[in-house]
Structure formats: C-alpha cells, structure tokens
A and B are shown apart, each in its own frame.
Chain A
C-alpha cells in the first residue's frame, strides 16, 4: 500500500490529522479531506463492489457523480447508507464500510455473479422471474442486491424545514455563479448563493486560474465573503439544490450540523430542507465529465481525468504513480500535466482523434510523454486493481503498457438537471458533443459550464450579466482557449464495457435492448435499469443514448434524453419529514376538558383527528368491561359524555333559512325558534354526506350540527355553495366547533343531576321537551342546552364556552355522584346508539348511500330543489334491490356477529347480499346487537340470512327493523 499523499499543497490541514476506519481497518486523513480523498491518499484502491456483478470497483470521480464508492457511514441509529465517499467529510472516529459487499469489498461472495455474467443480461429479471410470481424471488434477490443496511432505530436527530424568498437564487459557486451573486449583491438584491461543497469556488478550488490578479481560489474566497457580508445576501455551503419546481420554487438540502454518521453536536438540526421562491434563478452548476466506454473501464484505477486533477490539486492526493491518459478531447491533457507536476509518470496519452490540436500534444511531448493518436484502449489488466492497459494504435497493433491509473475523458455534460426539471428544453450541441440548455420555461438562466461554456472569462462574464452586473466583470488573466472534441461513444472491442457503473449496465446490454426493440430512451432505461441507480445516471445517460443513436442510425438529438427528476442527489427522509414526525406528524386535537379526562382515568384513542376517551377503565378493568359498565350506567342511572368535537356551524342572515332548505335534503325553514331538527345533507350525486341536529336560535340564525368528522368539511361545503353558486344569498357561515365544549348528561337520572348542579330555568319534560333548545346558566356558567338524544335516554347536551369546560365537568361530576353518574367514553356511546338502531354516518353508510337507503325516501316528496335532489331520481338510485339500512340479530347465539361479515340468503348459491356495518354486545340484553346494509333489506324483515365470511361464517342472523326492542316489541327508549 503506497502512500500517495503529496508532500505539500492541497486544501487540507496537515496539523489536524483525523483517524477513521474503512471496512474495519484504521486509516488517517486530515481536516479538509473527504473519505474518498483520504482513501485515495492512503492507497486504498478497491472501495466497493458493483451492484449486479459484484465486480471490485475503485473511485471513479471526485464529486457528486461518483458511481462506485457508495459507503455506509456511522453505526447504530446514525448509520447512513448509500453515501458517496466523495461527499463524506472526514471527521475524527468516522467509521465507513462499502455497501453491496459481503463479507467485504476485497473478498465478496456475490462476485460469483461476475463469473456467470453471461447469464445475467439486461432484462434478465423481467424475463426470468415473471413466472410463477416475482414475489417468490424478490427476498433472495433483494438480499443479494441490497445497498447498505439502514438503521431500524429511531433517528435521534432533528430536521427542519425553512421557507425563504429571494430576488436571485444562484446555484453553484464556481466562477460563473460567484460572478452572478457578486453582481446582484452589489445591487442590493436579496441573493441566495447555494454551494453543495463545504467551500465556495467550484472548479477554482482545483483548476489553475488567475482572476483580478489573484489565484482563483483566493478570488473565490474573497468574493464569497463579500457576498455573505452584504446585508440581504445569504451564502449557503454544504447545501444542494435538489429540485426545481413550478414558478421558480426550489428545494435545497442543507447539511447543517455534524458530519455524516457523527453525533449531532449541539442544538442545531442535522439537516434543513429549504423551500425557496426566487424571482430569478441563475444555474451555475458546472459540468460533469463523461467516462469512456471500453472493455475493462471499470477496473479500480480507471478514473475520470478531471478527478485525477482535482484529487491532486485540492487534496494533495496522487491517484497513481504510473499513468495512462485516454481521451477524445482536449480537457484530459490537463490531467496529464497535473500528474507530471505532482511527480507522477505518464506512460502515454491515448487520444482517439487522429489529429488533435498540435499545441496539446506538443506540450506533453515537450515533457517526454508519448502520445498515441487515433488510438484507443481495448483492455485493462490487474486484479483487483489496475496494473496495465492494452492500447490499440491507429494501425491496429496492440501494445501492453504498465499503469496503475488510467485517466479517461469522454467529454463533458453540462449539469442540466435543474434546468430540465424547470421545464426547459435541452438542445444537442454537435460541435461540443453535449446537451446544453435551450429555451427556458421559467425566469431562469444557465451560465458557465452549466450552459456548455467552458472558457473561464466567458463564464465569469455570463454570470456577471445574469446577476445584473454593471460595468466590467472580474477579469480572468488568461484568454479562453478553444476546446475541441471528437466523439468516441464506445470502443469497438470485445469485453465488458460499462456505461452505467452503479447499475452495471454495459454497452452490450444497450445493444441487446436495441435488438429487442427497446429503442426509446425511456424503454432503454427501464429494460436495462440504466440511470436508475442512486446516481440517476449522472455519468452514464448521455453515453447510453449516444450508443443507442449509433446502433439505430439516428441523430443523438432525435434520441433525446430521459427526464431529469428531483432530487439531484439523494435526500434523507428525515429532511423531507422535518419536524413532522412522531406526535407532530399529524398533531391530534385535545378536548377542552382533556385534563379532566386524564384525571378520570380515560383510555384515549384517535377519532377523526381528536384524542378522545374511548372508555374509563377502573383498576383492573378491561376495556370491554369498562364499555359495558358505562353503557349500563346510562341505561340505569346517568352518564357524562364529552361530545365537544361534534361540528357546530353558525349560519346567519336574512336568507339563512332559504339557504339551509337548499342545502338539506329535508326542510329547515319551518323549524320554530328554540327547536331542533335532525337533517341530512347530500352531495350532488345524491349520496348522504353528513347528518346532525340543527337548532334555530333566531329567525335569521341557525346553529348547524354536523358529525365530528364533518365539522371542517361541511363548513367548507357551505362556503363553496354560497360563494360559487348562490352569491346573491344574504348568509354568513362561521364554523364555531372549537369555541364550545359540549358535555352531555344522558340517562334516567340526567334531569336530577342537572337540577342538582343548579340550572336557572325549568327543565321538566313539559317545560323543556325533547328536540328543543334553551340558553341558561348551569352551575352559574352561561350555557346552551339541547334536548337531543343519541342514546335513547333522556339527554341534556350542555354547551359552554370552551374555556369553562373543566368547571362544568367538575360541577356535573360533583352533582352527579349521588346519582351514580359515570363518565362515558365513545365505545359505550356507540353501543348505546347501536342498541337504538341510530345511524352513524360513515360507519353504517358509505359514499354511495342515498336517503332512501337509510329510510329517508320521504325527501323525494319535497317539491323544491336541493343539493342532490335531481340525482335521487336517476334510475340507479331508484332500483328496488339497493342495499338498505336494517338491524340484524343473531338467531343461534348471543355472541355478536363481527363487523364486516357478509350476508346471504341460504337459498342463494353465491354472492353477497349485504354486510354488517356496526356490531356490539348489548349489556342490557346480554346478547349481540348489529346493524347492516342488506339488499332490499326493508322488505325482508324476519328473513334469515347466513353469515358467509369471517369468524362468524356459517352463523344465522335475522333481518329486523334497526334497533333492538323490548320483550313486547316496544322500543327501548319507550
């Protein structure tokens, strides 16, 4: 293992060494290193195994486009998987291992796939595992193909979401991006400059350059500092623009605190997801180098030429001692010079072009480097890493040359991902052999290499202009040099030539795809999985479609690209979720008297977004026993139920009665002041969408009651009709559900308890009858009382201002104690209404239930229109065999029939005639009670049906009127 750290240079702090482990072995690096640069400097050549063939792989790149070095970092709850080693900042104690390797990167059992590679062509999975069922094979394949093992422990860190607005958002802090942000910030604009790297500068961090008389990296540092110091500007490093959405909305992922895998050090969140709305956007995201496609191009030691330069200049890490450069364009010559400058040897530069610019070759020949023109590399050698290559010269002769690094360049791809996401159209630039941004769809402009402009001066000028810069832009000292390329999309030679390194897609796979007529890029992608890995084909897509173009004889522009989709680089679920997790994922509403329920020993459950008492189990009491006891208390004494979530909507105005007559399926305008009426609301399809009791407080004032789940929905529904259909009506709608707490006394002793609590009016049956409403004081608290009943027992629904709920609760409990008052939870409450045969919307009905289905056919007698009226006479809704709401009682035992059980006449051979919608054990009767929807149910009272599904299968039930009756057939509520 040769030390490859250069003696000087690089943006690393040699006074601050860091210890880390990779694959269990200890290594050292420096502050400023990435995991990748530290491994390279330590001479580690195999950093992972490929996805399908488990071939040994080394570093391909130095940045986000890295396709091979996927690592798992950290342990336990903070384990992060599928990170690119090139993006992992080194920190003390970092532990990393390669993903997709078992037991290790150097010795990998899955490599047997490589031996049988002939058997694993593109489409292999689709062809082989379709029959009899993909699911049989999936577990085995997934285990073999897994990319790391994410922690199953809860994430201990915090994540945040932040919203921001700006005049100008600049993505990328290379020379073009810095110039844009500098110009805009000097104009006093609100500027956000976003850089995914820890340092601003982009290519200036490693490419030799002089701007305004300083070194490129010095200039970048000063420019970024000036922008950051501007009053309305923000420079975000370690922040990646991952998505570009409509109307200049962009998502940024900021890595705030703690390197990957390390403990979050302080109060700060680990990551922050920014949602930014920008007036204008400048995309200065640079360009990514393309690999060349030739046999053995995935052997560890084969790297992008620009990565070789970047590792040397930025991290003082030399990729190898003996190099060969393979290129089809001018840019790789810089890598050869960088290797020479850092003390390496360059055995040869292989240029596929017969006649590259003479000044390029001359500059290397002057340094003693052999250049082979019109040549290519047809094989690589060495296990597990590169020891040599075979060069085929222009005459077709093969030469074997020793090398431990091969720097390749197939040209450049502008980073057009965000541009493409924004809706912009790409154009093919044949001269430079690349796709670059064409027509913009949003207020956006691409500059510099991201626009296919590789000259430093031009990039700076483009950025400066895009930022609204006035006067002369910063000046690069050297004039732009022309850059030329002679496309070479694949080297015509036998052997596995990889296009997509991360998903192991070869040039032969693309040829197979073409032969099988998957020639569209979208089909090619899915058939071969090309570009579908975590890197989304950053280094492979253009090579692949160019090869497809060659194979099918089409111009590259006609083949086109697949869609670029967010995120640009993978984002954690933690960041996407932000604070919305655990209790904050969907915060539950609490009742005004929540604390009192806690004191009363309530067991809470969620009902329609509210945390409500399901029941109040005593010591050692089961949920079922509690529910039975509470229901019996209502039948025999008195219960106290918190019904606060029931929807309450004030409907006020001269046309309030007319409005409700249009909204409700039944008439509300005839309701007298101080009285209450049950009502049904339909949608325009004629289905019942809500029910409830409405009271009339004054001639022009109704209080509409809805189901708990309907409180918000129905308020919005009323508004929609008022605003969109009947704006001429003089009506105001105000949802007031949470303004009131509703405590209901129910049971034979309810009146006694209310009386004992103290009420300033007569509450006898004559004075205050069923279905009436009064305003009064209860125990001194201003209250509204409705005489409505959900249980069949005498009930007083007492509403007080929400902030007096606890006071009322205490008074009623105190007053009720001598009468055996028990707090009653939802479960008992539901049981009581079930006994009575009262409908519970959403439990007994579904989205297709009509008024007639639940016994409200009389609404059709109304002569006027109302919402849903016309639908009720559609033929489908008039069918006689629709499901109708009925009761069912078991005839064979007292055990309740399970909810959801399907029912059928014993005389029918197959099919279902309905199902049980509500069921429970009646404590009063000591047997099961149930409600159901049954085909033509109302004409079948007394008929026996079979339970044909579930636990009750084979049992017999009888169809009845909804609600159980006493022994003499009388209703339970008398």
Chain B
C-alpha cells in the first residue's frame, strides 16, 4: 500500500486516494475541428511506461483535491507530487 504525500495534507495511506490515470493529457479543441483520430487518441490512447509515470490522484477521503504524482512503475517510488496545472518536474537522472 503506497504512502502518498498529498501536497495539502501530507503523507497518507493509499486507501484515502483514487488514481485518475495518466496526467498532462491535452483536451483537443475546438470540437468541430478535431479529427476522429485525434479525438480517439485523446479518449483511449495511454502510455504504459516502465519507469516514471505522471498520473493524477484524488485525495478522495481527505481534502478532495486532485494533484499530480510522478511514480516509478517498477518500484512504486514516488519521485514528486505537484499541483494540477504545474508542469512536469525535471526528473532527469531518475527516469
């Protein structure tokens, strides 16, 4: 069970959280200029990295805030947490 450092509440057990999957996905716009392929890509295509995964988590049984987590899928080590809207942290050297 992961220990996730919520940027608002500090380290808490994984059972308090819900994983929302890959983060930093751009919603294509405007809707009437988006191709079927680009839309399908947005809906369904996800990376499945062996290594650092940038994903969003919700502290659902806590502050109810969404935030980003950089988690290594091999070790479950959490390299960084950062708020929604912030850019990916520079993790050169660990990726």
Interface residues of A (CB under 8 A from B): 163, 245-249, 275, 277, 423, 441, 684-685, 716, 719-720, 723-725, 727, 865, 869-871, 874-875
Interface residues, chain B, with chain A CB atoms under 8 Å away: 1-3, 13-14, 20, 27-31, 34, 36, 39-40, 42-43, 56, 58, 60, 64-66, 75-76, 84-85
In the assembly, what is the distance between CA of A874 and CA of B75, in Å? 39
For the complex, what is the distance from the CA of A723 to the CA of B59, rounded to whole Å? Answer: 12
A871 to chain B: which residues have CB within 8 Å? Answer: 39, 43
Contacts of B1 in A (CB 8 A): 245-247, 249, 275
Chain B residues lying within 8 Å of A245, measured Cβ to Cβ, are 1
A683 nearest in chain B by CB position: B43
Closest 9 CB pairs of A and B: A247-B3, A249-B1, A870-B31, A865-B31, A723-B66, A246-B76, A869-B31, A870-B39, A245-B1
In the bound assembly, the distance between CA atoms of A249 and B4 in angstroms comes to 12
Let me know if A684 and B43 touch, CB within 8 A: yes
| Pairwise interchain contact B60-A716, C-beta atoms closer than 8 A | yes
Q: Which residues of the partner chain A approach B75 to less than 8 Å between Cβ atoms?
A: 423, 441
**Inter-subunit contact A685/B43 (CB<8 Å):** yes
Q: Please, which residues of chain A bring their CB within 8 A of the CB of B31?
A: 865, 869-870
Does B36 contact A719, Cβ atoms closer than 8 Å?
no
A-B contact pairs, 29 of them (CB 8 A): A163-B13, A245-B1, A246-B3, A246-B14, A247-B1, A247-B2, A247-B76, A249-B1, A277-B13, A423-B75, A684-B42, A684-B43, A716-B60, A719-B66, A720-B58, A720-B66, A724-B66, A725-B27, A727-B84, A865-B29, A869-B31, A870-B28, A870-B39, A871-B39, A871-B43, A874-B36, A874-B39, A874-B40, A875-B36
Alpha-carbon distance between A869 and B42 when the two chains are bound, in angstroms: 13
- A865–B29 Cα gap in the complex (Å)? 9
Q: List B contacts of A865 (CB < 8 A).
A: 29-31
Give CA–CA (A865, B64) in the complex, Å.
27
A865 to B33, CA, bound (A): 11
Compute how far the CA of A716 lies from the CA of B20 in the bound complex, rounded to whole angstroms.
Answer: 12
Residues in A neighbouring B58, C-beta threshold 8 A: 716, 720
> Considering the chains assembled together, what is the distance between the CA atoms of A874 and B35 in angstroms?
10
A724 CA / B85 CA spacing, docked (Å): 7
Would you call A724 and B43 a contact (CB within 8 A)? no
Contacts of B42 in A (CB 8 A): 684
Residues of A within 8 A of B84 (CB): 723-724, 727
Within the assembled complex, what's the spacing in Å between the Cα atoms of A245 and B14? 12
Knowing A727-B84, A865-B31, A870-B31, the reply to whether A719 touches B64 (Cβ < 8 A) is yes
Question: Distance in Å from the Cβ of A39 to the closest Cβ of chain B?
Answer: 40
A277 touches B3 (CB 8 A): yes
Given contacts A246-B1, A246-B2, A874-B36, contact A727 B43 (CB under 8 A): no
> Within 8 Å CB of A247, what residues of B?
1-3, 76
CA distance A719 to B63 in the complex (A): 12
- A249 contacts across to B, CB distance below 8 A: 1, 3, 13
Q: Is the pair A870, B34 in contact by a Cβ cutoff of 8 Å?
A: yes
B20 smallest CB distance to A (angstroms)? 7
Which of B1, B30, B39, B76 has its CB near the most chain A CB atoms (within 10 A)?
B1
Q: Which residue of chain B lies nearest to A712 when distances are taken between CB atoms in the complex?
A: B60
B90, chain A: closest CB distance, angstroms: 22
A727 near B36 with CB under 8 A, answer no
Nearest Cβ in chain B — how far from A68, in angstroms?
35
A419 CB to closest chain B CB, in angstroms?
A: 15
Known A869-B31, A871-B43; judge A723-B20 contact (CB<8 A): no
Q: In whole angstroms, how far apart are the Cα atoms of A306 and B1 in the complex?
A: 36
Q: B3, B31, B36, B39 — which one has the most chain A CB atoms within 10 A of its CB?
A: B31
Q: Beyond A865-B30, A870-B34, is A720–B39 a contact (Cβ under 8 Å)? A: no
CA A870 to CA B41, docked complex, whole Å = 13
Bound Cα distance from A246 to B71, whole angstroms: 12
Q: How far is the CA of A408 from the CA of B31 in the complex (A)?
A: 76
